[in-house]
Chain A
Amino acid sequence: DAGVIQSPRHEVTEMGQEVTLRCKPISGHDYLFWYRQTMMRGLELLIYFNNNVPIDDSGMPEDRFSAKMPNASFSTLKIQPSEPRDSAVYFCASSNRTGLNEKLFFGSGTQLSVL
């Protein structure tokens, strides 16, 4: 299995531009999570999906952020318009169950820099 695949690996953009991050979860996993990691705030859950349905988006910072999962093998996280404070590493993770021993499989992450 190729693992969780994210693209792009690096994204540099200017403030005000739209940014789209992409994720392909591990086949057969029915949970997908979007995380953001910064030095100041650590790892934060933004939103998660179960069977392609958004379950909890309370971690999404504001309306500039949106996420979709049109099918079981693809998800996007969009920021429009982007701001310098959005600069972070964005991880996508998937899992095939929740519960006491849930294991998250993380993608390689997207390093986003907003100038």
Chain B
Amino acid sequence: QKEVEQNSGPLSVPEGAIASLNCTYSDRVSQSFFWYRQYSGKSPELIMSIYSNGDKEDGRFTAQLNKASQYVSLLIRDSQPSDSATYLCAARVMDSNYQLIWGAGTKLIIKP
């Protein structure tokens, strides 16, 4: 099992709907979690971080962390075509100050 797993997609969502992106992780990575967005041909940029169980909201984005089930999700409300990108889930390795393990990314397509 990979340490951080994501469905590669593509995930196709109609404009205005909620896009739900999921990430599961292993025991070795469980301190804090990050969602980065990467447009085609561009570099990753941080959208949200989360390290406590529950939900964290920032505008149209909500990150959800469930440590018991070992998954983290990103919800995008009122999806826009500009949200079309690859979303990378990253998790910090236990007992490490720096090491991040990255998922392969989920490609999201918002259809007008």
**Chain A interfacial positions (CB closer than 8 Å to B):** 31, 42-45, 48, 55-56, 91, 98-104, 106-109
Contacts and interface: CB of A to CB of B under 8 A. Distances in A.
B32 A101 contact: yes
Given A91-B43, A107-B43, A98 B103 contact: no
Contacts, number: 44
Interface residues of B, number: 20
A71 to B, nearest CB: 21
Interface of B: 31-32, 36, 42-46, 49, 51, 88, 92, 97-100, 102-105
Given A42-B103, A42-B104, A43-B102, A100 B43 contact: no
9 tightest CB-CB pairs across the interface, nearest first?
A106-B43, A43-B102, A98-B97, A100-B32, A42-B104, A98-B98, A100-B51, A103-B46, A101-B49
